[in-house]
Every structure is written in C-alpha cells, then in structure tokens.
Amino acid sequence: MKPVIAIHGGAGTLKRSRLKPELEAQFRSALAESLTAGYSVLNRGEPAQNGVVAAIQVMEESALFNAGVGSVFTHAETVEMDASIMSGADHCAGAVAGIAHIRSPIALAQVVMQESEHVFLIGSGAEEFAREQGFEVVQNSYFHTDWRRQQLLKVRDQGRVLLDHDSDKFGTVGAVARDMAGNLAAGTSTGGMTNKRYGRVGDSPLIGAGTYADNATCAVSATGHGEYFIRAVVAYDIAARMRYAGETLERAAHQVVMERLTQMGGEGGVVAVDAQGCISMPFNSEGMYRGCIDTQGDTRVRIFSAE
C-alpha cells in the first residue's frame, strides 16, 4: 500500500489579513517539513507510529507551534506538556502529561506504549521513567520563548486563561498515518493553555478524546478547545460512527466536528485517515494549520478555511 500522512498544527482564528506574509511562509514551510519527515519514514517501510512521531517531532522543535519548544506558559511561568500516541493494529497506546524536562513528549509517549505496562504516566513519575529509558533531559527554559512569556503576562494580568485556539499564530500539533502494511496510527502533542493552573490537562493525551487509532476504522488527532473534545470523546466518536453506523470517514468526521461539537459550543478540528487511505481534515474554526500527503503522493499544505 502507498503510505498516507496528515498533520495539524492547531486550529483557531486564522485570517489571512492577520498573518504577515513572511510568517505565513514560515508556517507553510514548517508544515511541509513535518510532512516530509513523516512520509520519508513511512516510505522506508517503517510502521505508521514511527511516521507519526517523526512528523510531530519536527513541530515540537519549531517555536511556531504550541508543543515542545514554543509551548505556552502556565500561571507559574513554567512549561508543562502533554502527548499521546496510539497504534491501530493492536490498539496499544501511550500517553504522558505534565512533562517539563523531556525534549520530545511524543517520543516519550511512544516508549510508554512500547516499554511500559501502563498507558498513561504523568509528571515526575513520567520523567523518572524517561530517565530510566535514556531520554535526554533538558532545563524547562529550553522550551521558553519571549512571545509566549509576553502572552502569559498579558492574560495573567487580566485574570484569565488563553485557550490554545484563541491565538491566531500557534497551536497543538498532531499527525495520523497509514503505513505500507495498511496499519494506522495517531499522535498528538501540546503545551496546553496559557496561564493554566492546578495541573490542568486537556484532550491531547487522552486516548479517545484527542487521539485514537483503529485499523478497522480510522486514526484521528484533534486540536481545539480541549474541555469540549474530552466531553464529546471526539476521536473515538468518529471511529465509532464508522464501526457501528457504517458511516464513511468524511461523514463521521463532519458530523462530529461540524455538528455535534458545534452544538456543544466547542471549537477546533481534526485530521483523520481511514484504512483505505482516505483523508479528512474538518474544522469549525476560521482556520487550521494542516497538511497531508495522499495515496498519489501529492502534498497539500493549508491554513485558511477558503483553501
């Protein structure tokens, strides 16, 4: 089978008039680089999960996105990151939350899936596991950027939090893929929301909410207002509609994102791929950083709703 990959870099109020041409070019270049990295891994015959990790790591290392370097600040002026990954072939999954010193949260989530008897590890325990597995440990300042600090100071003075999708420049990242063997995988990585407190965790590391994969149906990665995605169990709902109602990927994703989620008041979108290699990237916000390489090997990178 031909490999397929789709990625997102966040959804929200994305208007061409508000995005300077040079910054838009940077985003498009970063999305294309992420796609190329993931697709190259898949094209070598490696598993879908490896392609997903490779694509996400490019965005984790880019200050353009709210994941890894460039993650948003908490109320305490630190960075706390979450990530998850799931394999559609065997339904194995790994997730981490509250990560503050591990360079690649998505890579750690994959090792949790592969090497741990658990699915979900958090905070200091997750980082202890990471050190035992030989992960690179960095200072929390490694992830800091001036833009994110200014963003925190602004909203903290106003006594509010800033949802990931409230920013017109940055967002949670994720990827879905089908490999040459026909297996699916999905992964998501995020820094959460600006000025978050009390150890808040969103949908990104939650299997079934922000990430889900099942070879019989689809692989899904979500981005947007996490609280709504958790309550709607968005990623799993798309797969369940395909399994139990016989809906196509496009219809199932549309029904969940454009109708059910909208009715609840939730904003955001997903990228998804099914066992046949069909791709769906619906969003109910004004835009979503997104891209894909389809079964024909054609690359598409998009930002705005009109594209």
- pLDDT tens-digit readout, 77-99: 999 999 999 999 999 999 999 99
Mean pLDDT of the chain: 94
Distance of CA 293 to CAs 4, 25, 184, 255, 278, Å?
6, 19, 15, 24, 11
pLDDT recorded at residue 15: 74
pLDDT of 130 higher than 60: yes
- pLDDT tens-digit readout, 261-280: 999 999 999 999 999 999 99
Question: 10 lies in a domain?
Answer: yes
Question: 216 lies in a domain?
Answer: yes
pLDDT of 160 higher than 80: no
pLDDT of 147 higher than 70: yes
Number of domains in the chain: 1
Domain range for 211: 4-302
pLDDT recorded at residue 161: 58
Average pLDDT over residues 14-18: 74
| Distance between CA atoms of residues 215 and 195, nearest Å | 38
Options 36, 172, 190, 194, the catalytic residue: 172
CATH number at residue 179: 3.60.20.30
Average pLDDT over residues 115-139: 97
Contact 78, 54 (CB under 8 A): no
**Which region, left, alpha or beta, applies to residue 161 given φ > 0 means left and ψ of -120 to 50 means alpha?**
beta
Query: Which two structure tokens, joined as six digits, stand for 203?
Result: 């949908």
Question: 34 lies in a domain?
Answer: yes
pLDDT recorded at residue 263: 97
pLDDT recorded at residue 208: 98
pLDDT of 169 higher than 90: no
Average pLDDT over residues 207-234: 97
Phi, psi of 94 (to 5 degrees): -140, 145
Q: Is 172 a catalytic residue?
A: yes
pLDDT recorded at residue 167: 47
**What percent of the chain has a predicted confidence (pLDDT) above 90?**
85
pLDDT recorded at residue 41: 98
Average pLDDT over residues 143-149: 93
Length of the chain: 307
pLDDT of 18 higher than 70: yes
- Count Cβ atoms within 10 A of the Cβ of residue 213 and give its class: 0-12 exposed, 13-18 middle, 19 or more buried: buried
| Distance between CA atoms of residues 272 and 220, nearest Å | 4
pTM for the model stands at 0.95
The H-assigned helical ranges of 19-122 are: 21-43, 48-60, 105-115
- The contacts of residue 75 (CB under 8 Å, 6+ apart) are 152, 156, 195, 196, 197
pLDDT of 62 higher than 80: yes
- Beta strands of 119-217 (E only): which ranges? 120-122, 173-178, 184-190, 211-213
pLDDT recorded at residue 162: 55
pLDDT recorded at residue 156: 79
Question: 307 lies in a domain?
Answer: no
Sheet with 173-178: list strands edge to edge. Answer: 120-122, 93-99, 81-87, 184-190, 173-178, 4-12, 287-293, 299-304
pLDDT recorded at residue 154: 83
| Distance between CA atoms of residues 11 and 167, nearest Å | 9
Cβ neighbours around 43 below 10 Å, total = 17
